[in-house]
Amino acid sequence: MNVNPLFSADHHPVVITPAGDASRAALNEYLESERGRLQELLLRHGGILLRGFDLNGPEDFRDTTERLGARAFDYIGGNSPRSRVSADVYTSTEYPASEVITMHNEMSYLPKWPRRLFFYSHIPAESGGQTSLANSQDVLRAVPAEIVDRMRERKINYIRNFQSDIPLGKNWQTTYQTQDRAEVESIAAEQGSTCQWQSNGSLRVSTRCEAFTAHPQTGQEVWFNQAEQWHPTAMKPAMRAMFEQLVGKGNLPHECEYGDGNALEDEALTLVRRALDDNKLLFDWQRGDLLMIDNILMMHGRESFKGERKTLAYLSAT
């Protein structure tokens, strides 16, 4: 197999392509015999793209991820709108094609999150639709030290508002996969969250998390939060104003503040977004591509696109 850089920097993801035989049998043999090396590559580069192999559809995708040692991570409490395609395989997201999803570490708004993410390009977009990437260490180094220090000291509080009478975002029944209020409270408590029920049946869930984490194998501290993405300033001003007129300020589906309850500074979030943009990595999907990333080392997002696009996802606990 050929192993080459996907981007220019040595610590960014690599791409593996067949030197000859592109069959699934040849790929499976390679994955088995080179398991140790693949782990080393992932730890060094944060991501590995398998390209040019005979991978056709969700079942091939799931089989390959499990040959890479993946074990499904439960998405109960997850924020992104997804649909199940087959066992443990989901659509990557169902946000509108016109919208950019900014880069983030999957489920960093909860104390527990998947260790690895797998994406499969079933149908590449006509244009755009790249899965954007950024090295979490690069982002941490790019954010001004005073902002990092404040976030480290104060932590981040993520707030989800599930409205009972206005269909904004996922409802709590879909998010927690239950119709039972007591079960929601139990799940939320296990996830380190607190629930507040409103008199009209709306639910407010708050979760206080660290803004950074250390990689368990390298010990290196990395950027690991979604503060800029959850904060109201992430929305277009006109859309934010319209929604706040409907539900009131502080009641958007996603809100974010410091862990001590103080407001995050708009100026700080502007600098965070600049750091993310400055470190964004883009590659164009090809049909049959399979991308594996370390969810701690590598952030991901999605660019807007035109045409049909179908990218599948598998979240792994290992």
pLDDT band at 66 (very low <50, low <70, confident <90, very high): very high
Q: How many domains does the chain have?
A: 2
Pair (152, 250) in one structural domain: yes
Q: What is the pTM of this model?
A: 0.94
pLDDT band at 78 (very low <50, low <70, confident <90, very high): confident
Pair (184, 248) in one structural domain: yes
Pair (272, 288) in one structural domain: no
Q: Which CATH number covers residue 242? A: 3.60.130.10
pLDDT tens column, 257-277: 999 999 999 999 999 999 999
Pair (311, 198) in one structural domain: no
Tokens at 302, concatenated: 């999605």
Pair (98, 13) in one structural domain: yes
pLDDT tens column, 225-240: 999 999 999 999 999 9
Q: With 0-12 CB in 10 A as exposed, 13-18 as middle and 19+ as buried, what is 224?
A: buried
126 CB-near residues (< 8 Å, 6+ apart): 305, 306, 307, 308
Pair (285, 271) in one structural domain: no
Pair (298, 200) in one structural domain: no
Tokens at 170, concatenated: 């996922």
Domain span at residue 49 reads 2-132+281-316
Pair (117, 51) in one structural domain: yes
Pair (123, 17) in one structural domain: yes
Q: Average pLDDT in the 85-94 region?
A: 83
Q: Which residue has the higher pLDDT, 38 or 88?
A: 38
Pair (123, 163) in one structural domain: no
Pair (271, 293) in one structural domain: no
Pair (27, 10) in one structural domain: yes
